Structure 1
Amino acid sequence: MTKAFLASSASLLTLFAAGIANAETVAADAPQTARVTDIVVTAQRREQSAQDVGVSLSVIGGEALNEKGVTVINDIENVVPNMEVDSQFGSGQPQFRIRGIGAREYSSNNASTVGIYVDEVAHPYTITTQGAMFDIARLEVLRGPQGTLYGRNTTGGAVNIITNAPTVERQAGFTAEYGSYDAYKVEGYVSGQLAPNLLGRLAAVTEQGGAWQYHRDTAEKLGDKNKTAIRGRLTWDASETVTVDLAATYQIDKSDGLGFRLRAPYKVFDGSVTYDTDTAWRITGWELSPEMAAVSGRALGSKPGRDNEGLDLNARIHADLGWAQLNSITAYQSFERSEYNDWDGTRFNESDVYFYNDIDALSQELRLSSNAGERLNWMVGAYYADENIDGGFYTQFRGADRTLINTPYEQTVEAFGLFTHNSYQLTERLNLIAGLRYENETRTLTTTGTRRINLPVGPSVTYDTDLSEVTGRVGLEYDLTQDAMFYASIARGVKSGGFTTYNATSATPFKPEIVIAYEAGIKSDLFDGRLRANGAVFFYDYENQQVQGLEYDRETGRLGKITNVPKSEIYGGEIELVWMPIDGLTISQNFGYKKGKYTEYFAIDGAATDAANPVDGPWDIIITNDRSGEPLQFPKFNYGGSVAYDWDMGGWAMRAETNYNQRDDIYSAASASVLPGYWLWNANLSMGPLDANWRVGLWARNLFNTYYEETRNGFNGSARPTTSPGQGRTVGVRLMMDF
């Protein structure tokens, strides 16, 4: 199958290239004016046109993100092919997957398989990214292993969030929205020169309201947002050759959590109540127990929700040395997570959870790079990180007779990396690419294990895991024509190992995962720039993939744990098109396809192992089954796009836009069921006088009120699990004004 896929992929790219040559000939006759906008990106740590970067890359501008309803980082899954972002089991912990590579867990102590960067600063723990999506200049998503360009090494890819920089001209503006369920959002900024050689920008956003769910027993509402963030940036030209950028971001999130629905009749633990299957979309249930209230610091009667707070500080220094460019990035992140969720979806305390974390991360990155325009472009860099994550996880589960269980831990991480990325122009058309990275990392976790809170605290045990790896990338970029490029690469990426920190008496580490990625693609602008057509195909050889699995403790029995799959593989591709057939009309399309399977995997069979041992243990007999050939758990395809039309009428500037995304179904191992695929549609209409500084708009999200589910689980022991639903249709109005 692999050889057939690679052969067919090569044929597809050959036909694509032939089509490009034809299109260039046809385009010579057409008198055309509009062209697809060229976006300058910094994906390779220097300013380039996105079309000149020989990697699979999606770029979306800040205005487009607002138009497509991207309000939190989770929403980018609807605008980027072959990408999913899940809030695991309705929690505030996002997990990223690109081309099928990514984790599924709700703890906050392990590194992401996809690197998340805000203004070049790595966010190693994704819980810290929930307040990042405001005052955005653009979003860059790179697919495939990254390590020769960035501070952290990842197997899945990288997401770069670039915020708006201070401006020389004095500017200010705001956007205000009001929508369904009394939800509102206000975002604003001021920017300009503060003193000679000193520019500043201050931006803030707040989101409130929007409770769309209700308690089946009390009718109390759930789902209000209560989020505020503020960011300040200063740019100081310290001299003719040195520029200093300082930034500080503060965020708080006291929003309600997501309520769960029951997918089948459910009898509570003591048998006193049997719930019917939930038929209403918005229905849920919860109740905070006195014991959980005490450990979480919440008042009785509190709803599921978050009380998170974060602070990001960073200093970026750029120095022109004449013969080279020097960049320094110093960053500090502090984040406190306090989150209570009710996963049984009832007023009985049978699957309630409370997460608590204090995260502190200090990092330093240095890069030295050649001047632009040289035949040889080189860059060398070094990265150091020192991280501390203290926290834990309280649970109140049906199977534990609703006695609180606690797993506390303290984790430290020290990482050091050296990396280089180089390109050499061999001919006028051919560039050769080579990059290399060495990384050393130590992770240490100390825990007293999992215990019921009415039992004595056990002795502290310390675990550690080390990473010492060499990774890299080799590739080529070949200009087929002036406006079309073919590229190909082979890359090796590594993602850190780590520790399972929930429901475990043993925190023995799981191993790092390794991906060898083969990729080829084409980037092209056709028909005098009216059509942009980009495509890529890939094959991943995956070693020690990190997955949710099982292990057995001889004394306590079954434990949920992150484990490693020895061998697996993934292959697929993406196509992205932007077409302007007539002035004012822009049509964007994207399609992603991927397919994967385990090729070597003997996994523990939980049901068979339970049956082979005494009910109360000890669990001495472990039974496994061969899961080789089983498909990996991700949607095979997604299809998305948008259609937008701009026109003038009677002195008014008008814009109508709709965007959509279709996602294939996905098998959920947590619930042994299939999450159905779905379509989501959004729409926008905006208008404003041609000579005015304001615009008004109408918007609709999930226009056709599609029911869809993000995750399912069986924590409450039901034969058919509970589910975390997506929100239905919402509509609203928007006012935008600039000064």
Structure 2
Amino acid sequence: MIYRSPLEFSAGSISNELNSIAIPSFVLDRYFGKCVRSIVALAPLAATFLPNVALAQSAGTEAGGQIEDVVVTAPSEVQAATQQQLQQVQATRASTTILTARQLQAAQITDLRQATRLQPGLNVKFQNVRNIAINVRGFGASSSSATDAIFGGTPVYVNGVYQPFVGQAVFNMPDLEGFEVRKGPQATGGGQDNTGGAVYITTALPSFVAAQNLQFQYGSYNWFQLQGSATGPIADSDKAAFRFSFFGQDREGYIRSTTSDDRYNSTHDKAANFNVLLTPSNDLTALLTASYSHSSQACCVSGFAGVVDHYTNGQAVSNNYYQRSARIGQSVPSASEWINTYTTQGQGWQNTSQDNYVASAKIDYTFNDYKLSSVTSFTQWDFHPHNGFQLNPGVSYIVGSGSQVTARSVVQDIKFSTPTGGPVEAAGGVFLLWSRVMNWGKSAYGPLAGSWYGNTNYSQLVNDRALNYLMRSAYDNPETYQVSPYMQATYHATPDVDITGGVRYSYVYKRSNFSQWLSSEQSLDGLSIAQQAQARALRVSQMGANTNWYADTHQGMASALFTATYKFTPDIYVYVTASQGGRAGGPNVPMTGNIADTVPHTVKAERIENYEVGLKTSWFDQRVIANIAAFTMFNHNYITQATNVIGATAVTYLANAELAQSRGVELDVRVQPTEELTFYGSLVYDDAFYGSFTNSPCPFEIKANSCDLSGQPISNTPKWSFAIGGEYVHDLGSFLQPATDKPVSVYFGVDFAWQSRFYSDTSNSVYSQINPYGILNLHGGLRFNDESLDISGWVHNALDKRFYNIIAPTTAGLISAQLGDPLMAGFTIRAKF
């Protein structure tokens, strides 16, 4: 196991103009308290005493590499890290795309959600910090609705450590260096099982060269961001180094309520990481990490985007949204008001937050050129919803409702690797996982629920007694035990031909209880026997009956890999891959209500077959990089969502589609014609569809018990997507004399991302289509060539494109939607010393 960080430079004292940058103490106190403020204040002083040891860490992959001494002569730390990252991508025998350190810095990308705009083919759908879907080539998770018992098929790793709960990995991180996406099954090399691919996030790690970094950003909607880090040897040692980094962000909401003073889609994030690197000998290294992050959002409200009042057969939707609104005296806004003005007539407090704690140890021991690697991690993830937003005030009374979640996991991955450079290089090990999720759910109706949800054939008295202040409580506790031995080897048949093969078997045992019970402040006393029966039936039809059940699964999954590579030249090669991967199923814990007796209480495991051919080329000393890959994938027992009306309630649960397919082409190009000019572009064609789903749920507008989605597109996967961009840098020399002798460069950059039409709901309702759209971003600035100071300005969504992230019909035909971010602009100041 290797520990990636950019090439390091001797730390010198920062010039006087940098010393003049002051961060107000109240800002630091607000985010991190006096402890961090003290560290930042002492950082310049510490640089005076910490020795400058010329030690850097070499590049590599998860399977190899080691720390070695180097003499740093590169003109730029970020340029060196970027070159290192591109070399790694070219050496990977799979379709791989990466956002380099330079791209992340230029585009102000600090989390995985932002990274998707420059990573076509990687789709992240986000409802809140718990409900997230990450897909590659259309596979990973069918929807952003949480699946507590079943992990996503696109695993995420941070510095090689698997993140079981994706909410912890998609938010702001300090010291980001790269986002790498590897396409196709990857599990025979270690880590978690996967389907469409895997995401690898890297951050800067401890250095024996003392250095400090500080970044300040301010932008639209009072978008304030502060991050920094300090690194160096511990007690002047050449055997131990540390790195401390922190991040804080505040942004006001850009959605405003027209009936209150509430604002929505605000963010409040903070994070802190502490790493210790130990190198007691040339044969032994250890990286110890402890991190904490907190994310709090007034997110993610859904607004009015229209009403479905007739089914496709011409029949009117009974008790529809218009009729219900009239009964409670609420006006219905225009469909265009939501997206054109970013306003809603809904009101109430909305907040979801998460706390994440991670401790990990990565240990490498080398003996006689053999290597033993160990990655151990513990994670606790807490989710706290405090939902009070009501699009129809008075219907629901949901302050503090939602799913309170506490999740814990322990991961152990042990790998043994043979020496490199011989005719055969092999690695094998075992991946172990234990996880438990404890979920307490609650939802409650308000004082107008009887008027809104009531049966029009019942009296108002019955409807009010049955539904006003009715509450549903639920609990589930899915637990996972996983053991996965694996092995992968490469045979260098000739100097130009490599053969790689791998096998893996995963045994996954899962179990869960599910309980649900109803309670109400409304007594049924005083109603007739017939009316009481009506009220009880109405309660069950709306929220489900009291229930308690237990389910467990024992599932085995086989994975395999075969790759043949032929090198035309050292920088041009073609590869052919056939591989198999999987995603474990488990107990079918319902997301809303309780599932009918006819619905299976367990979900089968996915089995995916991938066939791929690719060409990787590098020209003119890596000034031109062009990679292309074509693929076809078959996903058996694809895990998707089903939503059926049980009684009067739409109940959402998981189901297996017999077959889903994905086929397409991926192109990635980078060109640097001169030292001053850089271009990059990625294009993805991905035709992902249901090969066979003969007993699927029906879209809202089709009034039928079941449908056939065979041949229809898979949701959340645009068929076409691309991202292009570039940056121009011009050296101005020492034109700031006499203020400073440091050479200065000016730079300008642009990126544009576009995607075609796709469905955002698993039922493929025509009302869930998101139209094609593109987002333009601009940036420019001035920086010292040694990167000690960088001042830039930026504009995100420069054309102010209005678009939906999610849109779908819901109860009573209401089409609700979540909005994408509007135009935002600001500036960033970075300092290194």
1:375 aligns with 2:430: no
> What does residue range 192-231 of structure 1 map to in structure 2 within 5 Å?
192-195=232-235, 196=237, 197-231=239-273
Change (3 A) 1:559 1:693: closer
CA distance in 2, matches of 1:611, 1:712: 20
Q: What is the identity, as a one-letter code, of the residue corresponding to 1:477? A: T
CA distance in 1, matches of 2:701, 2:731: 70
More helix by share: 2
1:336 aligns with 2:387: no
Q: CA deviation at 1:285?
A: 4.6
Q: CA deviation at 1:501?
A: 3.2
> What does residue range 346-365 of structure 1 map to in structure 2 within 5 Å?
346-350=392-396, 354-365=402-413
> What does residue range 97-496 of structure 1 map to in structure 2 within 5 Å?
97-103=135-141, 104-107=143-146, 109=148, 110-131=150-171, 133-195=173-235, 196=237, 197-264=239-306, 267=322, 268=324, 270-277=327-334, 278-279=336-337, 280-288=340-348, 303-341=349-387, 345-350=391-396, 354-396=402-444, 399=453, 401=467, 403-449=470-516, 451=518, 458=546, 460-496=548-584
Identity percentage of aligned residues: 18
Q: What is the identity, as a one-letter code, of the residue corresponding to 2:613? A: A
Q: Is the 8 A contact 1:535 1:575 kept in 2?
A: yes
1:500 aligns with 2:602: no
CA distance in 1, matches of 2:701, 2:714: 23
Q: CA deviation at 1:550?
A: 3.8
CA distance in 2, matches of 1:700, 1:557: 44
Match of 1:536 among 626, 629, 635: 629
Match of 1:688 among 755, 758, 783: 783
User: What is the count of residue pairs matched by the alignment?
Assistant: 674
Query: Aligned with 1:77: secondary structure?
Result: helix
CA distance in 2, matches of 1:377, 1:645: 42
Residue matched to 2:670: 578
> What does residue range 2-17 of structure 1 map to in structure 2 within 5 Å?
none
Residue matched to 1:49: 88
Q: CA deviation at 1:452?
A: 5.3
Q: CA deviation at 1:607?
A: 8.2
Residue matched to 1:625: 707
Query: Aligned with 1:50: secondary structure?
Result: helix
Q: What is the identity, as a one-letter code, of the residue corresponding to 1:180? A: S
Residues 585-624 of structure 1 show CA distances to partners (whole Å, capped at 9, x for unaligned) of 0000110001133222212555899978xxxxxxxxxx43
Q: Is the 8 A contact 2:752 2:775 kept in 1?
A: yes
Query: Aligned with 2:168: secondary structure?
Result: helix
CA distance in 2, matches of 1:272, 1:584: 63
1:95 aligns with 2:113: no
CA distance in 2, matches of 1:271, 1:552: 24
Q: Is the 8 A contact 2:564 2:577 kept in 1?
A: yes
Q: Is the 8 A contact 1:330 1:364 kept in 2?
A: yes
Name the Cα RMSD after superposition: 2.6
Q: CA deviation at 1:472?
A: 1.0
Change (3 A) 1:40 1:488: farther
Structure 2: 5+ residue runs without aligned partners?
1-57, 67-86, 308-320, 446-451, 455-466, 522-538, 735-743
Residue matched to 1:619: none
Q: Is the 8 A contact 1:524 1:532 kept in 2?
A: yes
Residue matched to 1:512: 605
Change (3 A) 1:70 1:466: farther
Q: Is the 8 A contact 1:407 1:502 kept in 2?
A: no
CA distance in 2, matches of 1:395, 1:676: 33
Q: CA deviation at 1:689?
A: 4.1
Change (3 A) 1:729 1:260: same
1:603 aligns with 2:695: yes
Q: Is the 8 A contact 1:108 1:357 kept in 2?
A: no
Q: What is the identity, as a one-letter code, of the residue corresponding to 1:169? A: V
Query: Aligned with 2:490: secondary structure?
Result: strand
Q: What is the identity, as a one-letter code, of the residue corresponding to 1:492? A: Q
Q: What is the identity, as a one-letter code, of the residue corresponding to 1:58? A: T
CA distance in 2, matches of 1:491, 1:696: 47
Q: TM-score, normalised by structure 1?
A: 0.86
Q: Is the 8 A contact 2:557 2:607 kept in 1?
A: no
- Indicate the structure (1 or 2) with the bigger Cα radius of gyration: 2
1:644 aligns with 2:727: yes
> What does residue range 670-685 of structure 1 map to in structure 2 within 5 Å?
671-673=765-767, 674-685=769-780
Residue matched to 1:710: 805
Change (3 A) 1:317 1:217: same
Q: CA deviation at 1:509?
A: 1.6
Query: Aligned with 1:603: secondary structure?
Result: coil
Residue matched to 1:698: 793
Change (3 A) 1:119 1:605: closer
Which stretch shows the higher mean deviation, 431-440 or 689-698? Answer: 689-698
Q: Is the 8 A contact 2:787 2:832 kept in 1?
A: no
Residues 17-41 of structure 1 show CA distances to partners (whole Å, capped at 9, x for unaligned) of xxxxxxxxxxxxxxxxxxxxxx945
Change (3 A) 1:199 1:396: same
CA distance in 2, matches of 1:80, 1:351: 40
Query: Aligned with 2:195: secondary structure?
Result: coil
Structure 1: 5+ residue runs without aligned partners?
1-38, 289-302, 613-622
Query: Aligned with 2:277: secondary structure?
Result: strand
Q: Is the 8 A contact 2:254 2:264 kept in 1?
A: yes
Q: Is the 8 A contact 2:147 2:589 kept in 1?
A: no
Which stretch shows the higher mean deviation, 644-653 or 702-711? Answer: 644-653
More strand by share: 1
Residues 374-424 of structure 1 show CA distances to partners (whole Å, capped at 9, x for unaligned) of 221100011111111001333347648463323321111111100011111
CA distance in 1, matches of 2:818, 2:706: 31
Q: What is the identity, as a one-letter code, of the residue corresponding to 1:111? A: F
Which stretch shows the higher mean deviation, 193-202 or 67-76? Answer: 67-76
Q: Is the 8 A contact 1:40 1:50 kept in 2?
A: no
Q: CA deviation at 1:132?
A: 5.5
Match of 2:827 among 728, 733, 737: 733
Query: Aligned with 1:393: secondary structure?
Result: strand
1:658 aligns with 2:750: yes
1:80 aligns with 2:137: no
1:524 aligns with 2:612: no
Q: CA deviation at 1:274?
A: 2.0
Which stretch shows the higher mean deviation, 640-649 or 623-632? Answer: 623-632
Residues 73-94 of structure 1 show CA distances to partners (whole Å, capped at 9, x for unaligned) of 1122211121110103x55532
Query: Aligned with 1:581: secondary structure?
Result: coil
Q: What is the identity, as a one-letter code, of the residue corresponding to 1:284? A: T
Change (3 A) 1:523 1:344: farther
Q: TM-score, normalised by structure 2?
A: 0.77
Query: Aligned with 2:234: secondary structure?
Result: strand
CA distance in 1, matches of 2:803, 2:651: 30
Change (3 A) 1:406 1:573: farther
CA distance in 1, matches of 2:131, 2:111: 12
CA distance in 2, matches of 1:528, 1:738: 29
Q: Is the 8 A contact 2:172 2:269 kept in 1?
A: no
